[in-house]
A and B are shown apart, each in its own frame.
Chain A
């Protein structure tokens, strides 16, 4: 076995040469009536400059918590980060004073959310909302900030940007609002954008347009994108590399092509069979049996074993044989997997 015991070793792969964002051994806990409860367990990954990385998982896998934690956006009193580090261009964000963190958010790193319909403030014109962000980080006059707002709005493909900047959010369609959100996130040309399911709420045709736009913006400005999604198809479409999350842990990391052709974790393989448009197999819509475990009731050993078709008693026993956690295994080609049987199994991928 080549199991690497140090959890931070998951840093890995393409990001390692010149990473702009490094998440290392991140743990997050939420307050409950019965005390603090862990929802993220040793999450580690890195994002290279200009790279697009997908974070994939079902709802409840911790992918959104990971992205919120990276920006320090978790609710301050009901959550905490007991361990771990998030470094943006070498600067530690975890534990950074609020004021300093505020100055970095929207400037060096920004975020796009799932719901374009509710993510813009209904009471202010879109141009004003973007200009406000520009002035916050770049200073200068209102007029120059507004000019920058119009510039990004036209860059994201909003026709008549100068005029539309004076419109209120409710005067835009969902797809157009998501373009506005992208414009706002791009306004200060951040090094990293975290996009949390940015296309999930949109129509399929609009989805494709927004994905194209994000790819184009990322390429033109060299912005690294962390793409949080439950949709492996989107990952295949836009990402260089994928980080698969399950029950608060990273379970597999690989280049997108490698991941799809030859998944090394049964959960990844199961996710792919659950998506007929990916596998091309028709007639049978596979689903993964069971549900994502809730924090506080995690199964012993491998967290996926109750739903895994390949599970053995050893999976339940974990690395220490007593139900302890399963560590990340470093594999060839800069890949990682959190499967105990990774070297025994041959899992089916896609073409």
Chain B
């Protein structure tokens, strides 16, 4: 409320703790973020050991048992229009969805971090050129741009994820640039530069640690968006190509049987929603657990 009351209350909180200790102390109290982390660990683990958990071979068709409802004929989550086991397919599709999201995020980081460092560090002209380009990229509706690129390059999951990565890169450029700019203002950097510390060392010693925490937050949020984007493109038939399946393409296939077999869309959609939610909640939790300055930079 008022400055004075806040001061008085602030004084009551436990003071100096190391940044790391403070982070863990705060993070451990974030129950939703911990649950999210648990769910993500479960999904990753299930993807890795999918062959052990599967009840059917992933591509085995059984035209004698198509569109079985969940629980029928040994199909835990039902079967699809070719008689394939939905539970088994969801396990394997999870692999593809996760790897695809990771690819997109990796591309975004690869394309975003270096220009961001350069823009923040070089300043002036270089900065404004880089920022104009990111503005330009951000002018395009992401999905339209992705569709256009995939249209030109040809539909494939790799193309789709590369494009998603390109579209997300400006976020990382801006984030890194912002962090570099704020660090640059600090006096210790000025001092360090003035005694002739080489640029790469200043970046490694001062800039990188400062950028790291907002970057981790952003990676978690970007993973969520990448997963949704992959699902959308696959739903449109522009992402993963049969016989492979991601959760998004499972929905696309199931969509044709909405009336007869709603479970074909409900289960994969639920998996996407929960996993994306987990990435988002984890990102928010991380942001709230990081110190005040990092929060602002994010």
Interface set of A (CB-CB < 8 Å, partner B): 30, 32-33, 37, 39, 59-60, 63-65, 68, 73-75, 78-79, 114, 294-296
Contacts and interface: CB of A to CB of B under 8 A. Distances in A.
A47 B123 CA distance: 59
B4 A30 contact: no
Contacts of B7: 59-60
3 interchain residue pairs of minimum CB distance: A64-B4, A75-B1, A294-B11
A30 B2 contact: no
Contact of B12 (A32, A59, A68, A114): A32
Given A75-B1, A295-B11, A296-B12, 15 more contacts: A32-B9, A33-B12, A59-B4, A60-B11, A63-B4, A64-B5, A65-B2, A65-B4, A68-B1, A68-B2, A73-B2, A74-B5, A75-B5, A79-B1, A294-B11
Contacts of B9: 30, 32, 78
B8 interface: yes
Given A294-B11, A294-B12, A60 B5 contact: no
A65 B5 CA distance: 7
A295 B4 contact: no
A242 to B, nearest CB: 19
A33 B13 CA distance: 8
A280 B5 CA distance: 34
A220 B11 CA distance: 42
Contacts of B11: 60, 294-295
Interface secondary structure of B, over-half rule: helix
Contacts of A65: 2, 4-5, 8
A74 B1 contact: yes
A59 B12 CA distance: 15
B5 A295 contact: no
A351 to B, nearest CB: 32
B280 to A, nearest CB: 27
Contact of B4 (A60, A75, A78): A60
Contact of A73 (B1, B3, B8, B13): B1
A68 B9 CA distance: 15
Interface of B: 1-5, 7-9, 11-13
Contacts, number: 45
B26 to A, nearest CB: 13
Contacts of A294: 8, 11-12
B12 A295 contact: yes
A75 B1 CA distance: 6
A30 B13 CA distance: 13
Contacts of A78: 9
Nearest to B11: A294
Contacts of A73: 1-2
A231 B13 CA distance: 29
B184 to A, nearest CB: 27
A68 B4 CA distance: 10
Nearest to B9: A30
A60 B6 CA distance: 10
A78 B12 CA distance: 14
A330 to B, nearest CB: 29
A143 B9 CA distance: 44
A291 to B, nearest CB: 10
Contacts of B13: 33
Nearest to A31: B9
A295 B11 CA distance: 9
A37 B4 contact: no
A201 to B, nearest CB: 11
Nearest to B12: A32
Contacts of B2: 64-65, 68, 73
B12 A79 contact: no
Contacts of B8: 30, 39, 60, 65, 294-295
Contacts of B5: 30, 39, 64-65, 68, 74-75, 79
A293 to B, nearest CB: 10
A296 B8 CA distance: 10
Pick from B2, B8, B11, B13 the residue with the most CB of A within 10 Å.
B8
A350 B157 CA distance: 84
Given A59-B7, A60-B7, A37 B12 contact: yes
Nearest to B14: A33
Nearest to A114: B3
A78 B10 CA distance: 13
A206 B224 CA distance: 55
Nearest to A228: B4
B30 to A, nearest CB: 16
B134 to A, nearest CB: 30
A303 to B, nearest CB: 15
A83 B3 CA distance: 24
A68 B8 CA distance: 14
Contacts of A30: 5, 8-9
A79 B2 CA distance: 12
A130 B51 CA distance: 73
Pick from A64, A73, A295 the residue with the most CB of B within 10 Å.
A64
A79 B9 CA distance: 11
